[in-house]
Every structure is written in structure tokens, then in C-alpha cells.
């Protein structure tokens, strides 16, 4: 029988264009709060590095580099890669090893340094995650994939672009209150709705950021949890899903099928449903992705997700708070760190430690992290429960 596993500590670097730090230094910045919380190197059995794309820095063998720099060079280590879901894929791999009894305490650390190349080159590298025979050669980038989804959704449900802009306004409202955020500034609805086009109908404020940063968590088997904290966050449900590689092969462009399957598996494992959630972190790589996530996770019926943002139900004091750290849109999206940043935020909210009370969610007992890779080819959903 699998052992119970909890998140017992977490750390987070500043996200942004981090020309002031190397990849290894970003890892150290994320590990320092964990070390300061008492999880020193001698207490860690093994590590997993979440590192999605070595093209950005040219650094191979990232897990060895990270382990060496953090003083963990004698501990077993490995790297996991799963596009934008690399963070939660790494956490899932580590959870499996701890749950199985292979290790008791593991560090899962995610990092990406994407601004060592130009925005054009970064976009090209990410486009290579599309089909290299039938998509990439024809200039299809990820803004284009999500623009296709947005166009179809807006047509099917007769929805104006302004609804997407309201999501961007919310993201920046909370990002402005998060000292870790890449772009911590408010935007008005007019700014968000009339920004320069990127790939119609998506504009500048519909798209997430090319970001440098790191985030990490410590997970521990139940028998070791009390050594580190009296405020553990238990991993209650894990679901993974997949979708067809080419979106032309999907039945619908207004939903991500892998996300729906991952959510169902996580809900079933945790024994909860959408109505039990106190907060949600969704993969808002584009504003349309957040709207679709509302529906894929069962927070709203198909075509009704707009009501959550229009009625401010997804704000910190609403019915189901979503991305009250700024999300990928304002906080940033360093590929390998994103899923672990979501986990860090849920732990922080459960402990009542949000930096600003105007983004602190009241009494979080159950939180969900929804992490999507590419345009839905990879999806992981985690459900966490407060342990005190």
C-alpha cells in the first residue's frame, strides 16, 4: 500500500528577466528558504530536477549541476522533462518514489532560464514542441494554437474578446501584489482589450511571459513529516492526462480532453469534487487557457466559464479563487518551475502567508493545481489537503 506523502517546505526565486543570476544561482535562491526552514542537505535522500528545455542555456546534465551547487552531489538525482508540465511531472515522479518507500525525503526543484536567447529564438524553440512535420514548418507557434482555440470558443459561445481581457486584468491585479512576480503591475480593462495583437484574437495581455526563475518543494513520507513541520500539505489526489499531438485530430477546440481526464482521476483519488475546492491554480499560458480550465475542471458548465470572471467569483474573496498569485500571465512562466510555483502558492495560502491580505484566501483546506504542457498533450492535476 502506498505511503502518505506531504509537502513540508517550499521555496521560490524572484521571477523575471534574471540577467543577474545563472541557472545554478536561481536554484540556490529557491532552495534557501527551504534550508532556512531546517531541511538541510543531510536530511534529503534524493532530488529531482524539473528542467524542461536545455536549449535556452545550453546546459546539459542539469540535475548534476544543481546537486553539485547545492551541496547535494552525493545524493541520487535525476532530471524530468514534460514540456510545460515538467514541474508537476517531477513532483509526480518524486511522489511515486516516496510513496513506494524508495526514499523518505526528496527535494523537487524546477528551473528555467529562458531569457538567455531573444524572444524570437525562444518562441522558435517552444514551437519545436509542435509536430515537426505538419505544424512547425508552416509557422504554427503556441500563440497560434491557442488563438485557434480562442477563435473557436468565441464563435461557438458568441463571446467577445473583452471576457478574456477581464481574466488578464485579474491576473495583473494579483501579480501586482506578489513580490515574486515577473510583471507586477495592474492593467486596466481598456489596456488589456486594446493591446497590440500577437496572434488574433490574442493580444499582448492574453499571453504569458518568457521568464527566468526557480521554485522547489520538499516532500516527505508520513513518518518523517513531524521532523520538519506541524503544517504539512498532504498530496491527496494525482491525475495525468494526454491529448492528441496535433489539435486538428481533436474533436473539439473548446476543451482540452487530457485535462478533463486528469481532473477526474485526481478527484477520484482524493475523494473530492469541484465544489470541495477552496482555491485553484490553473495553467493560464494564455487567457483562453484559463477560461477553458474553468470548464475542464468542472468549475463551470461548457460555455459558462465567462460568468466566473464577469461575476468576480474567481477573485480571492469569490466562490472559487483562481490564480491569486498572478498566474503565468503576470507572475511568469519559467517552464520547469511553473508547476512547482503553483504548489508553493497553495502551501503559502493554506498557511495564511500571502504577502498581501488583499490576495490572501480565507481558510484554504483543499487546493488544486492544474498544469498543462504544449496545447494539452501533457496534463497533470494535483489535489492538496491541509494537514492541521
pLDDT tens digits, 183-229:
999 999 999 999 999 999 999 999 999 999 999 999 999 999 999 99
Q: Distance between CA 117 and CA 224 in Å, rounded?
A: 42
Active site residue: 84, 207, 285, 324, which one? 84
Catalytic (active site) residue 155: no
Q: For the domain made up of 5-118+210-227, give the CATH fold.
A: Peroxisomal Thiolase; Chain A, domain 1 (3.40.47)
Q: How confident is the model at residue 169 (pLDDT cuts 50, 70, 90)?
A: very high
pLDDT in tens, 104-140: 999 999 999 999 999 889 888 888 888 888 888 888 8
- Is the pLDDT at 1 greater than 80? The verdict is no
Burial tier of 388 (Cβ tally within 10 Å: 0-12, 13-18, 19+):
exposed
State the pairing for strand pair 46-50/77-80: parallel
Domain borders along the chain are: 5-118+210-227
C-alpha cell belonging to residue 26: 536561481
Active site residue: 161, 283, 333, 370, which one? 333
What per-residue confidence (pLDDT) applies to 262?
A: 98
Model-wide pTM > 0.95? yes
Q: Distance between CA 321 and CA 332 in Å, rounded?
A: 19
pLDDT in tens, 279-307: 999 999 999 999 999 999 999 999 999 99
Catalytic (active site) residue 333: yes
What are the φ and ψ backbone dihedral angles of 264, each rounded to 5 degrees? -60, -45
C-alpha cell belonging to residue 185: 503591475
Amino acid at each position: 500500500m502506498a505511503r502518505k506523502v506531504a509537502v513540508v517546505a517550499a521555496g521560490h526565486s524572484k521571477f523575471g528577466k534574471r540577467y543577474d543570476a545563472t541557472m545554478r544561482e536561481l536554484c540556490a535562491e529557491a532552495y534557501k528558504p527551504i534550508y532556512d526552514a531546517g531541511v538541510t542537505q543531510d536530511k534529503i535522500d534524493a532530488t529531482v530536477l524539473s528542467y524542461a528545455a536545455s536549449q535556452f542555456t545550453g546546459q546539459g546534465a542539469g540535475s548534476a549541476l544543481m546537486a553539485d551547487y547545492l551541496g547535494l552531489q552525493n545524493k541520487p538525482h535525476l532530471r524530468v522533462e514534460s514540456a510545460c508540465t515538467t514541474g508537476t511531472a517531477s513532483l509526480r515522479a518524486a511522489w511515486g518514489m516516496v510513496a513506494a518507500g524508495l526514499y523518505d525525503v526528496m527535494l523537487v526543484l524546477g528551473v528555467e532560464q529562458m531569457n538567455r536567447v531573444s524572444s524570437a529564438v525562444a518562441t522558435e524553440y517552444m514551437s519545436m514542441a509542435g509536430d515537426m512535420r505538419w505544424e512547425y514548418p508552416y509557422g504554427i507557434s503556441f500563440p497560434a494554437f491557442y488563438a485557434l482555440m480562442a477563435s473557436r470558443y468565441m464563435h461557438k459561445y458568441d463571446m467577445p474578446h473583452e471576457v478574456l481581457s477581464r481574466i488578464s486584468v485579474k491576473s495583473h491585479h494579483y501579480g501586482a501584489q506578489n513580490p515574486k512576480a515577473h510583471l507586477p503591475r495592474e492593467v486596466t480593462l481598456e489596456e488589456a482589450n486594446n493591446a497590440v495583437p500577437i496572434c488574433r484574437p490574442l493580444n499582448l495581455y492574453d499571453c504569458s511571459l518568457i521568464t527566468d526563475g526557480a521554485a522547489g518543494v520538499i516532500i516527505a513520507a508520513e513518518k518523517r513529516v513531524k521532523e520538519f513541520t506541524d503544517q504539512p500539505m498532504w498530496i491527496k489526489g494525482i491525475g495525468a492526462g494526454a491529448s492528441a499531438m496535433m489539435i486538428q485530430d481533436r474533436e473539439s477546440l473548446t476543451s482540452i480532453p487530457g485535462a478533463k481526464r486528469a481532473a477526474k482521476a485526481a478527484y477520484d483519488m482524493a475523494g473530492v469534487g469541484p465544489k470541495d475546492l477552496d482555491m485553484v491554480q490553473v495553467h493560464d499560458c494564455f487567457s483562453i487557457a484559463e477560461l477553458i480550465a474553468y470548464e475542464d475542471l468542472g468549475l463551470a458548465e461548457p460555455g459558462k466559464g465567462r460568468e466566473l470572471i464577469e461575476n468576480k467569483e474567481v477573485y480571492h474573496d469569490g466562490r472559487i479563487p483562481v490564480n491569486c498569485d498572478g498566474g503565468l500571465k503576470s507572475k511568469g512562466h519559467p517552464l520547469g518551475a511553473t508547476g512547482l510555483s503553483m504548489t508553493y502558492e497553495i502551501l503559502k495560502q493554506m498557511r495564511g502567508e500571502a504577502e498581501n491580505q488583499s490576495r490572501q484566501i480565507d481558510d484554504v483546506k483543499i487546493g488544486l493545481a492544474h498544469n498543462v504542457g504544449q496545447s494539452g498533450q501533457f496534463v497533470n492535476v494535483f489535489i492538496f489537503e491541509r494537514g492541521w
